[in-house]
Copies of this chain bind each other. A is one copy, B any other.
Amino acid sequence: MTHSVLALVRTAVVAGVLVAAACAPADPLPSWNDGAAKQAIVQFVGDVTRPGAATFVPVPERIAVFDNDGTLWAEQPLYFQLAFVFDRVKALAARHPEWRARQPFKGILEGDLRAALAGGEAAVGQLLMATHTGMTTTEFDSIVGDWIATARHPRFARPYTDLIYQPMLELLRYLRANGFKTFIVSGGGVDFMRVWTERVYGIPPEQVVGSYGVTRFELRDGVPVLVKEPKLDFVDDGPGKPAGIHRFIGRRPVLAFGNSDGDHQMLQWAAAGGGPRFVGLVHHTDAEREYAYDRASHIGRLDMALDEATAKGWTVVSMKDDWRRIFPE
């Protein structure tokens, strides 16, 4: 080949590559490494959206549910809502001098979380009632909004809403672009989450399912308000998750994503429907970029659900191997 012919071929190849790149559909999941997990997701979305396919799912039935803590955003070293609780206890302490001598408040005010949480669930319940009730729903929205805008994560020194998972954001968008309705189904408080989920995940309040307490309607000088009462009504965790899905959504999801045993029954419930199903688990395997924990963790323990995922062929996403990036830039 002469030099000029070679140049011509080279130009043609480059042009061909450029054209191919321009025409290939943009990767909807750029933060996912190529691998079995990403492939399973793309395969599933293709299957349920292909008209005429036996696996086709009509748009109204494309319900996708996601746990929040540990699935859409981080949950270590403590559920972020607990950080909110602790900050609120400190902010309210001046109005409650008796807290200095009483657990679980005393421990928080003295920076001794171990002492504060020694009382287990009852202690957490007391803290939730002290920080999440007694105000109107509108007042609570402002309190959460102020906190989420200013609080910083102890390790990453970034707002908590920065510690959402970029690959999951892409997955949420990809699903919505394919006719799915995306829901959060979390053990967290529904009133706590709804303040920021629309801005952060693009998930509107009416698509957030979570734990909640009783509210009381009253007229204050003729103005109707809802007061958050110190009475826990529903815990949307474990077997509560399928119950919460039934109560709030009223149909069975075709896709469910979790990361812990608290999501186990939700995943079982989604998996047991007829037709194509996608059941996924985020496995925290990346101590360097995020955290590594599973069977032995107090927060987000993943044990029985991991065994069932392995046995049933659910998709286990290894954060370290499957995710190119963890958090948004």
Residues of A at the B interface (CB closer than 8 Å) are 60, 63, 137, 181, 183, 190-191, 194, 198, 204-208, 212, 214-217, 219, 223-224, 226, 239-240, 242-243, 246-251, 265, 268-269, 272
In this complex, what residue of B is CB-closest to A198?
B60
The 5 closest A-B pairs by CB, nearest first: A205-B250, A217-B239, A194-B250, A206-B249, A224-B268
9 contacts between A and B (CB under 8 A): A60-B198, A190-B250, A194-B251, A204-B251, A205-B249, A215-B243, A217-B239, A217-B240, A217-B269
Given contacts A226-B246, A243-B226, A265-B224, whether A205 and B272 have CB atoms under 8 Å apart is: no
CA A227 to CA B246, docked complex, whole Å: 11
Given contacts A224-B272, A242-B217, A272-B224, whether A251 and B206 have CB atoms under 8 Å apart is: yes
Closest beta carbon of chain B to A126's beta carbon, Å: 23
CA A60 to CA B203, docked complex, whole Å: 10
Contact B224 A269, beta carbon cutoff 8 Å: yes
Closest beta carbon of chain B to A214's beta carbon, Å: 8
CA A217 to CA B243, docked complex, whole Å: 7
| A250 surroundings in chain B (CB, below 8 A) | 190-191, 194, 205-206, 208
